[in-house]
Structure 1
Amino acid sequence: MAHLNETDRIQILMMLRYGDRRRTHSEVCTLFNEAHPERSTVTKLLAKFQAAGHIRDLPKSGRSPVHENTHLDFMLQVQDNPYSTTRQMGIDFNLSHTSNVCAKR
């Protein structure tokens, strides 16, 4: 499904059921007409709304990424104090001591 922001998703749902008139998915695609959404996107969005009652993205699984600034600060601290333990560095930066960022190179 093409990534649409919340406003776009709301517009699509409003276009599907505007007033007393119900539009087809193809009509909504034509109305929206910004290189997206495809018919399958409209179908999936409607199914998601009917199943969950909202159109927000659900949280993704997996480890969250370490931000670039945290990574740079971490590397600077390693450079300043190369004898710090990975456990202490993890505590200082609120990271797991087994994180890739904490692995000394």
Structure 2
Amino acid sequence: MVYLTEMHTITILQMTGYVDRTRTQAEVVRLFQEEYPELPPISQGTVSKIEKQFRERGHVWKIKKNPPNKLSDDHKLDVMLMLEENPHTSSRQTASAFNISHSSILRVLTENQMHPYKLVPTNELTEGDFETNSLL
């Protein structure tokens, strides 16, 4: 159904008919292929989908999906300022404070070369810890 234009969709609906003068899906497929032999063949399922979409929506136009919401530069700056003032604030707390999704906060951090991490307190040095020479 990807190759069908809106005009093709309208033609299929016209071929289907209306009220008491309707054709079967097989007849519509045959008629469409006779009308447009250069196009790949359509199936009865395609005709069924077009009819269903028209009944549900009342039109044949393709529905455009909304682009993802982009944070404004002001919001990004506010997030960075908040984290600058209190670097121990979690990314989830920051998200709820600004009513922004957690993934958006992480995206802002990544754009600014910041890496969220979690402090894990321990009582002793571990194998990977940096060693210093202390003069006591």
Give the TM-score taking structure 2 as reference length: 0.42
Tell which has more relative contact order, 1 or 2 (C-alpha 8 A, sep 6+): 1
Task: Extract structure 1 runs of 4+ deviating beyond 2 A.
Answer: 18-21, 60-63
Q: Deviations over 1:12-62 (max 9, x none)?
A: 000000695210001100111142321111000000000000011111355
Quick check: 1:59 aligned with 2:64?
Answer: yes
Where does residue 32 of structure 1 map in the other structure?
32
Give me the CA root mean square deviation.
3.2
* Count of residues in Structure 1 that have an aligned counterpart in Structure 2: 72
Where does residue 47 of structure 2 map in the other structure?
42
Q: Which has the larger radius of gyration?
A: 2
Where does residue 10 of structure 1 map in the other structure?
10
Structure 2: distance between partners of 1:18 and 1:52 = 17
Structure 2: distance between partners of 1:52 and 1:18 = 17
Which structure's residues are more often helix, by fraction?
1
Structure 2: distance between partners of 1:46 and 1:19 = 13
Q: Deviations over 1:61-100 (max 9, x none)?
A: 555xxxxxxxxxxxxxxxxxxxxxxx7xxxxxxxxxx7xx
Structure 1: distance between partners of 2:53 and 2:27 = 19
Residue ranges of structure 2 left out of the alignment (5+ in a row):
34-38, 74-106, 112-136
The one-letter amino acid paired with 1:7 is M
Where does residue 22 of structure 1 map in the other structure?
22
